[in-house]
Chain A
Amino acid sequence: MSLLEIEDLVIHFHTEDGTVQAVDGVSLNVEAGEIVGLVGESGSGKSVTGVAILGLIRPPGHVVRGAVRFEGHDILRMPEAEQRTYRGRRIALVPQSPRTSLNPVIPVGQQIARLIRLHERASRAAAARRAIALMEQVGIPDAGGKARQYPHQLSGGTCQRIMVAMALSSAPRLLIADEPTTGLDVSIAARILDLLRDVCVQTGSAIILITHDLGVVAETCDRVAVMHAGQLAEVAPVRSLFRHPAHPYTRALVAAIPRIDADVALTPIPGAVPPLLHPPPGCRYADRCDLVSARCRQSRPELLAIGPGHAAACFAVAHARASAA
């Protein structure tokens, strides 16, 4: 049994204009202690998938089918009270914008301490001490002094460390980090990623890292799941993904990033993510794909194993492998 098993997850949002099919049949396992990157452009459904793992899909959102099993228990089918024993405790979130996620009028140390007292019985003094210890653990110098400061007095990097400390306060088994370095300076971002990797090694918890930056994925993750328009395009160990990207979307994504390490031409991904209000039947990448065939527009390709732990959902890839064999 994996730590987390997402099975055939389908999520729709009901709007005035119709039904937005945000996540369409996503299946993904996460093992204890691994860092899995969830990558894609805006509108790929990666954040909605993250929210679903926390059991936080609320109207107008609606889980149409599928399961999210954490340690064998289906988060989506348990009562709210039971969900709360997982959310924020066993599964914690590191959000994208630390400044707006922190309360501006409460010192940061107190915010962590409050959270600790929410999860467990602890005296105020004990919780305050734990808060400072957590701040030290995430590498904040002068944690005692910083604990008395308000978010606006701290740098963006320190605020993000505070968010990691809050996420760690309940010793979670799974961290969901949603674009944790977007908006941070490069050197600060690099250190937050180092911190997440350290957390993973020290505590043995797993991390789902949601990002649109393949550079961040290459530097941090063990495995990668590439999403496009609500569907999984490719899942692979990080090395195979970058050495042998199979799905045309993954290849396009790699070719679209400006690289500091190589002199390669920059090629934007053709077209745009299709509207999820009336997505095309079949493969949702078909209209942007240079390998498209009639079949792609009629039926949806399933994820097909193409190597150890490496799977891609593409008829062209499947066809090429069949002819090679």
Chain B
Amino acid sequence: MPVPALLEVEDLAKHFPLKRFGGAGGGVRAVDGVSLTIDAGETLGLIGESGCGKSTLGRCILRVIEPSRGAIRLAGVDLCALDRSGLRAMRKQVQMVFQDSAAALNPRMTVRRMVEEPLLLHEELGRAERRERAEAVLEHVGLGLELADRYPHELSGGQRQRANIARAIVTQPRLVVLDEPTSALDVSLRSRVILLLERLRAELDLAYLFISHDIATVKYLAGRIAVMYLGVIVEHGDAAQVIGDPRHPYTRALISAVPVPDPDRRRSRFVLRGEPPGASAVVQGCRLRGRCPLAAPICAQPVALREVAPRHFVACHFA
């Protein structure tokens, strides 16, 4: 019998009702039937542009947002069926790191207290043990102990993000949802945080859901990549395949728009028309068809993910 994946998400959906003045409006289908799996110790990159639902999906997995439909299983346990105490126990296993490192930290707590807090919530440790665990984690993420008694405003952006990562891994989770953890960082800090995340994953056997619009960064961390557009996954597969041989027109457009530091390779772009419509204006059939240069009448038919190459899935009639 095959070993089940660490995380299994099945047909997950999140609809936000929209109330308009003078009558009922439609709803925003932020996530609309997404299935994915992450194995223990694996990094899945989730890429897509603003408004595609990637952050909502990440938050649903932690049940910070309640999904409207679907199942989320962590090591076989259905997270959607958990009550409050079960949920608390689960959050020891699944943690999250946010993009805005300053907003995610409590301005009135020292780094040490913030890193100890999850231990207070999730484990029964003596004060000395707690202190020891927190200091070990701070060292692990490369924050010197001289910074442990500082407040967030006394830290640089890179140090703050390290504190966030330390807080997320102190409970020894199995899965960490990383929501754009490097997007607000400068070039040199970004490369350091990427290397740190990769080292921690290998050393602590973590699995990551790495959510980002920065495809070049995702490439460095993710073994597999899923591409999301307007609430659905349009392509997923091994990172090298998705980046080297993108089959969905949306993926092709995204990848060809990434600036490349080589002036001899200014490439012809694969350009889509216009900008993504709001998620409330979901069309029948392929959601990209209003913007896609390949669009044909068949695109009005619903299109499911199908395997176009081993382990490479694409939802496009022309792939």
Give residues in A with beta carbon < 8 Å to B: 41-42, 141, 155-158, 185-190, 193, 212-219, 238-239, 242, 253-254, 256-262, 266-269, 272
Contact = CB atoms under 8 A, between A and B. Distances in A.
Nearest to A44: B186
Instruction: List the 5 closest A-B pairs by CB distance, nearest first.
Output: A215-B259, A190-B257, A185-B49, A258-B216, A269-B188
B215 A186 contact: yes
Contacts, number: 109
Interface of B: 49-50, 186-192, 194-195, 213-217, 219-220, 243, 253-255, 257-266, 269, 272, 274-275
5 contacts: A155-B275, A186-B213, A256-B187, A269-B188, A272-B188
Given A186-B254, A215-B260, A141 B274 contact: yes
Contacts of B215: 186, 260
B259 A216 contact: yes
Contact of B188 (A41, A141, A186, A259): A41
Contacts of B257: 186-187, 189-190
A100 to B, nearest CB: 16
B188, B213, B217, B264 — most chain A CB neighbours (10 Å)? B188
Contacts of A187: 49, 253-254, 257, 272
A40 B319 CA distance: 41
Contacts of B265: 261
B161 to A, nearest CB: 14
Contacts of B272: 187
Nearest to A155: B275
A266 B188 CA distance: 10
A256 B49 contact: no
B264 A217 contact: no
Contacts of A155: 275
Contact of A268 (B191, B261, B264, B266): B191
Contacts of B50: 156, 185
A217 B261 contact: yes
Nearest to B270: A187
Contacts of B274: 141
Contacts of B194: 258, 266
A18 B213 CA distance: 40
Contacts of B266: 218-219
Given A185-B213, A214-B187, A242-B261, 9 more contacts: A189-B257, A215-B258, A219-B263, A242-B264, A253-B187, A259-B260, A262-B262, A266-B194, A269-B188
A42 B195 CA distance: 20
A266 B192 CA distance: 9
B275 A212 contact: no
Nearest to A186: B257
Contacts of B216: 215, 257-260
Contacts of A238: 263
A213 B263 contact: no
A259 B192 CA distance: 15
B187 to A, nearest CB: 5
Best-buried of A141, A185, A215 by chain B (most CB within 10 Å): A185
A41 B219 contact: no
Contacts of B259: 189-190, 193, 213, 215-216, 218-219
